[in-house]
Structure 1
Amino acid sequence: MTTTTDAIPKGARELCTPTVEEAKRLAETVERVAEKTRLAAARFPETRDVVLGGSFAKGTWLPGEADIDIFVKLSPDIDEARFEEVGLKVGLEATKGYPRGKKYAQHPYTEARVEGVVVNIVPCYDVQAGQWKSAADRSPFHVELVKTRLSEAQKLDVRLLKKFMKGVGVYGAEIEKEGFSGYACEVLVLEHGSFVDVLKHFIHLKAVAPDRLLTLPDPVDERRDLAKAISNEIVARLVLAARAYLKRPTLQFFLGKTGKKRPNLQAHVIGITFTHRESSEDILWGELKRTMKHLSGHIKRAGFALARTAIASDDRRESAFLILPEVRELSAIEKRLGPSVVMEREANEFLAKNSKRAKLVWVGEAGQLQILQNRDEVRLSDFLRRMVRGEIAKMGGSPTISRAIAKNGKVIEGRPLLRAAKRKGWLSAGLNDIVSDTLGTSPG
């Protein structure tokens, strides 16, 4: 295992540190938008203050990736409708003349691209710590925490941690990723002291509950667990990546490092491709994940064991469910269990219902009826085609996604799937992901 002094490869710090010129240019842009926001906010008596937020305000942003949040603090006495109305009006006025749009979190806010930089103008209530009325209310306190509690050296450690997490694919709080947020990185460095010490913590991580690998209380609100939005898979991937890195630190971890790809397995993947209406990425990925979960359950109940599943999307109008089964074809017959013979009514109903399909009927050692019957589908691809033809709408999940699949979904595998992946980068990325090892699982 490496020591702290040699665990950061040459060039990593420079890779994570913005230039003086970039910092100056961003500061000028931020001040221009902030001043416009102050002027717009002054028109509304409900406004209490305008404060800067995001990684730029905290000094933890990465070169070319600054997120700039401007928080419009409003009176806690106004109702939710007025809160949203004022917040959006201020945002629209402050970003007049720039490409902009309405985005959604707990409440709507304005996102604009100003001189190549994404700026979010977000309303929040002007409250005391602990008296939260909206999710955004904590954000100004987060800024103050980082600015006052982290040293300049630790802010560089945060940048290193963010860049590392991006490189190994565990960074990003969006629903698609369910990974670590920028604030989670800041809290980890605050809690453990440095980038290397954070990784050392994770290589020896112990589960906090049977179904949870990590807990990370928010220092601003101890009742809020930042790790609740981070999936166990992401935490496990960070554990393995940290072990691999500390064993042999290289700059490649910061530039982008993945597990070994197994292209021979691509021929075994079955995909369902479909188009759907456009929506925000968080809404889309929530619907895709919910539907994939229901679909996987139906596949397993039909007798097909799944090795792995994945979702691919262009984040706009095209998506695909990718399935890597253990076997793609089952035996022609299957056994079904019925009720015990002492359950007279249920036993009679079971026999009557299955008499025509049953190829063999018998009683097991426990007195339970059992039958042997032909399967509805032997091939997984045939089962999926039946689902796509309309039955998918009955299985649960997102009605929007289910209707889209029933309308235009296609089951593809083998060469047609590989050809489609060559034409569509987002599908190729998903196909590569489902047949790649997790980083840190290979010996050496």
Structure 2
Amino acid sequence: MEWQGLREKVIEETYPEEQELGELRQKYKEISDFIEREFGVATHFAGSASRGTCMKNDGDLDIFILFNKKIDELKLENKGLEIGKKTFRQFEEDFEVDYAEHPYTKGRIDDYEVEIVPCYETDPENIKSSVDRTPHHSEWVKENLTEEERKDAVILKNFLDSKDLYGSSLKTQGFSGYLCEILINHYGGFHELVRSVTDWENEKLIDPENYHDGKLPERLEKKFNEEPLKVIDPVDKERNVASVLSLENYSKFIHLCWRFKRNPRMSFFESEQRNYSEFRIKQELKRRGNFLVLEFGTIEEVDDIVYPQMRKTMRRLKSELKKKEFRIYESGFYVDQSTKIFFELDRELPEIREMEGPKVFHGEEHLSEFTSKYENVFIQENRVVAKTEREFTDAKKFLEAFLSDDLKEKGIPDNVSKKIENYSFEDPMEGDSKWLNYLGEKLCLQHKGENK
């Protein structure tokens, strides 16, 4: 489909009408008027709804309470919670307290998701916590994005959201809304961004305000070392807006843009309802056969704690299995009512392994060092080779032995180690539809209704 026609269709389906944006602004004014009148503090309308970059029917009200930077942090937190609680009670709505760098209140007011967040009113150079940047982010977007770029920012968000790449939580490790807005402004539009992304390499630096003249200083290179996409915050030259983005999701984005560039169509902006055939999944599990599934209780913490700790646990277990030469084809973890870790791997290995030593030409010292370690030594072509018995030939027995020790000492995060002590091995075919759909996706199966 020709891009301009497709763009108009996407905007029609995903960009909010002016009436919706106006109603959001009106509801913000109603709430902020109460806060400012009752408590004598200034407020700031933040988030994508304030910037005209929210998706249709997805506008939340992020209301920031601005405190003088001289106020003690504890007083800011207590006063912020007091204001939030009294505001929700004023509108006769339920609320809960959540935690970021400061505790804040959130709930619903007249069908709108509302967050009331305390922060310091300060210059970008003198922020005390990350939430203090948010008002400056809002102002930058309002001042720099054109109306058409705002629409393209929403197009990009839908494009990413349809493939589970939108969101900067540590669970998702994707693109934040602010990052989308910066990218659209930097490249001049969605179409221009997609065309450029297909040429991105394993690392990409974008510095919209040209703070670093095309090259990061050594201290920032070190700070951002493991971050594939480096987008310097227009309001904070020391910060990478894309720091949460994982290498895998960065790579998925490049591949997604490449596919879209070849054949742009509406389906790229439509969320996939992944519904895998239970029969097909179980058939594939039987065919492939070599699976191990560990199941244990779910950590009772917020996602931003659970998911990084589970990733660290996965890396540790995979590393230990690979050290014992168990070949892993696929792996992952699943968090719901219970937590599952699965591996598709060669579950059994031969009892005897060959250890390759030095070439016979490498000198007496190397030969002596190698042969002194092993008894069963022979020559294979031009190398000295030893045959040794493996300590573990069964992956399940190895994991049982590994998990029987002090896991915290072995690098398993404390929250996980406490839960995984009571693990069990489960049949991968046992579980609800969500678990089986997760496996279907990990095993790259075709879901119902998908065209080959």
Which residue in 2 is equivalent to 1:23?
21
C-alpha distance in structure 1 between counterparts of 2:326 and 2:163, whole Å: 32
Which residue in 1 is equivalent to 2:219?
none
Residue of 437, 440, 446 corresponding to 1:432: 440
Q: Does 1:81 align with 2:81?
A: no
Once the two structures are superposed, the pairs formed by residues 123-138 of structure 1 within 5 Å of their partners are: 123-138=118-133
| Paired residue secondary structure (2:81) | helix
Which residue in 1 is equivalent to 2:323?
301
Once the two structures are superposed, the pairs formed by residues 21-420 of structure 1 within 5 Å of their partners are: 21-39=19-37, 41-42=39-40, 47=41, 49-96=42-89, 97-208=92-203, 212-257=227-272, 263=281, 266-267=285-286, 268=288, 269-314=291-336, 317-325=337-345, 327-335=346-354, 360-362=375-377, 372-390=387-405, 392-407=407-422, 409-412=423-426, 416-420=427-431
Alpha carbons 1:260, 1:437 under 8 Å: kept: no
Distance 1:271 1:159, change over 3 A: same
Distance 1:361 1:37, change over 3 A: farther
Distance 1:393 1:129, change over 3 A: closer
* Count of residue pairs the alignment pairs up: 416
C-alpha distance in structure 2 between counterparts of 1:379 and 1:258, whole Å: 38
Deviation at 1:157, TM superposition (A): 0.5
Distance 1:144 1:303, change over 3 A: same
Alpha carbons 2:49, 2:59 under 8 Å: kept: yes
C-alpha distance in structure 2 between counterparts of 1:23 and 1:429, whole Å: 36
Distance 1:240 1:361, change over 3 A: same
Deviation at 1:133, TM superposition (A): 1.2
Alpha carbons 2:170, 2:308 under 8 Å: kept: yes
Distance 1:225 1:364, change over 3 A: farther
Deviation at 1:293, TM superposition (A): 1.6
Which residue in 2 is equivalent to 1:354?
none
Distance 1:188 1:333, change over 3 A: same
Give the TM-score, by structure 2 length. Answer: 0.81
Distance 1:82 1:282, change over 3 A: same
1:23 corresponds to which letter in structure 2? L
C-alpha distance in structure 2 between counterparts of 1:381 and 1:38, whole Å: 62
Distance 1:82 1:11, change over 3 A: same
In structure 2, stretches of 5+ residues that fail to align are 205-224, 447-451
Deviation at 1:160, TM superposition (A): 0.4
Distance 1:40 1:380, change over 3 A: farther
Deviation at 1:3, TM superposition (A): 6.5
Which residue in 2 is equivalent to 1:355?
none
Alpha carbons 2:53, 2:154 under 8 Å: kept: yes
Which residue in 1 is equivalent to 2:209?
none
Distance 1:364 1:28, change over 3 A: farther
Greater Cα shift, 300-309 or 334-343:
334-343
Aligned-residue Cα RMSD (Å) equals 3.6
Deviations 1:156-182 (A, max 9, x none): 101100000001221110101110000
| Paired residue secondary structure (2:249) | helix
C-alpha distance in structure 2 between counterparts of 1:203 and 1:167, whole Å: 19
1:123 corresponds to which letter in structure 2? P
Alpha carbons 1:312, 1:319 under 8 Å: kept: yes
C-alpha distance in structure 1 between counterparts of 2:321 and 2:143, whole Å: 52
Deviations 1:391-422 (A, max 9, x none): 64542121111120112x2222xxx32231xx
Deviation at 1:196, TM superposition (A): 1.0
Deviation at 1:17, TM superposition (A): 1.7
Deviations 1:189-240 (A, max 9, x none): 1101111111112111123379553221111112211122211111110111
Deviation at 1:337, TM superposition (A): 8.5
User: Percent of counterpart pairs with the same letter?
Assistant: 23
